[in-house]
Homo-oligomer: A and B are copies of this chain.
């Protein structure tokens, strides 16, 4: 039974912030000073010579670091789960960094985009050096991982593909993948929701910002569609281009192709070397995921297999897309072991 009031930790959770040069003058006017949480495992303060692997935690769409402290009855927060994992010695210790990549659209997909800002570069070129400078990390790709759920799982999949020099492991929980199932049906819903706005998602966006958020049934769908368009298919002027006709839903092929170019399943062949060099790959999802990300997980695994990468952990479990945070600690332990150099395989 979880006592709801007193989250005493065995380790420490530091609230920090970073002044990002890369996010300065981002197109949405979002702050360039960003918060982050740094979890230091039990014992960190005891042995000043010891260095630790680092796992960067990425959030799902509409997440921002302060939501990590949201509490649900009868369930610990994720930072508390992390702490319990290390306090109970179920995992080698590591430093866990909770990343903020929020935008005014609710997310960045952890990519560089003229529609939102340079969040990929901020993560790789500012946040990682900051953490390495401020904490006793094992500052090499082989000791650095990424983990996340949903959009965060997407970030965890693509970032090591793009920067194998920085990251040596990933864990994706219900990460965005196989876009024909996770995104296409949303477009159909979006078209219907846009009828009251005469097909103008800008009109919806203005409305959404002017009233209480999420009081219209399809607000979440439209926010995601608009926000991901800002990440994947912004025009040169930064305005999001929709990958579908807002009246009929007909696919706009060239814009949709820009989305597909970011589908982790489709990205694998071009990044097989990067992926093949990773120390740790963990893939999971719930078999009832509302966005069919269990299929995305399976397809991502299959794509890795086709690329000859078979040293990975894959599992599905009876769950939807929500309430699966108790599934993260085993993945974190898996990463911690692999990134500590404690597990060495034939690779």
A35 CB contacts on chain B under 8 angstroms = 5
- Asked whether A192 is an interface residue with its Cβ less than 8 Å from the other chain, the reply is yes
- Asked whether A249 is an interface residue with its Cβ less than 8 Å from the other chain, the reply is yes
- Asked whether A257 is an interface residue with its Cβ less than 8 Å from the other chain, the reply is no
* CA distance in complex: A127, B24 (Å): 49
* CA distance in complex: A235, B69 (Å): 38
Extra pairs beyond A63-B73, A195-B287 (13, CB < 8 Å) = A1-B209, A5-B66, A67-B70, A70-B71, A73-B106, A73-B213, A75-B214, A180-B180, A184-B185, A185-B185, A192-B294, A248-B302, A250-B265
A66 CB contacts on chain B under 8 angstroms = 4-5, 71
Q: Which residue of B lies closest to A247 (CB)?
A: B298
- Asked whether A26 is an interface residue with its Cβ less than 8 Å from the other chain, the reply is no
Q: Is the CB of B73 within 8 A of A64?
A: yes
- Asked whether A212 is an interface residue with its Cβ less than 8 Å from the other chain, the reply is yes
Q: Is the CB of A213 within 8 A of B5?
A: no
Q: Given the known A-B contacts A181-B184, A192-B287, A287-B192, are A323 and B248 also in contact in the complex, defined by CB atoms under 8 Å?
A: no
- Asked whether A147 is an interface residue with its Cβ less than 8 Å from the other chain, the reply is no
Interface residues of A (CB under 8 A from B): 1-5, 31, 35, 62-67, 69-75, 100, 102, 104, 106, 178, 180-181, 184-185, 187-188, 191-192, 195, 208-209, 212-215, 245, 247-251, 265, 287, 292, 294-295, 298-299, 302, 319, 323, 326
* CA distance in complex: A129, B339 (Å): 56
The one of B64, B208, B298 that contacts A248, using a Cβ cutoff of 8 Å:
B298
* CA distance in complex: A104, B73 (Å): 10
A195 CB contacts on chain B under 8 angstroms = 287
Task: Quote the shortest CB–CB distance from A177 to chain B (angstroms).
Answer: 10
* CA distance in complex: A42, B31 (Å): 27
Task: Quote the shortest CB–CB distance from A192 to chain B (angstroms).
Answer: 7
Q: Is the CB of A73 within 8 A of B62?
A: yes
Q: Is the CB of B4 within 8 A of A102?
A: yes
A208 CB contacts on chain B under 8 angstroms = 74
Q: Is the CB of A188 within 8 A of B181?
A: yes
Sample 30 A-B pairs with CB under 8 A, ordered by A number: A1-B209, A2-B213, A4-B64, A4-B66, A5-B35, A5-B65, A5-B66, A62-B73, A64-B71, A66-B71, A67-B71, A73-B106, A74-B208, A75-B213, A178-B248, A180-B184, A180-B251, A181-B184, A181-B187, A181-B249, A191-B295, A212-B326, A215-B319, A215-B323, A245-B302, A247-B298, A249-B295, A249-B299, A250-B265, A250-B302
Q: Is the CB of B326 within 8 A of A292?
A: no
Q: Which residue of B lies closest to A182 (CB)?
A: B188
A185 CB contacts on chain B under 8 angstroms = 181, 184-185
Q: Which residue of B lies closest to A185 (CB)?
A: B185
A248 CB contacts on chain B under 8 angstroms = 178, 295, 298-299, 302
Task: Quote the shortest CB–CB distance from A305 to chain B (angstroms).
Answer: 10
A64 CB contacts on chain B under 8 angstroms = 4-5, 71, 73
A215 CB contacts on chain B under 8 angstroms = 319, 323, 326
Which 8 pairs between the two chains have the least Cβ-Cβ distance? Answer: A74-B213, A62-B73, A70-B70, A248-B299, A248-B298, A249-B295, A4-B64, A188-B292
* CA distance in complex: A287, B294 (Å): 28
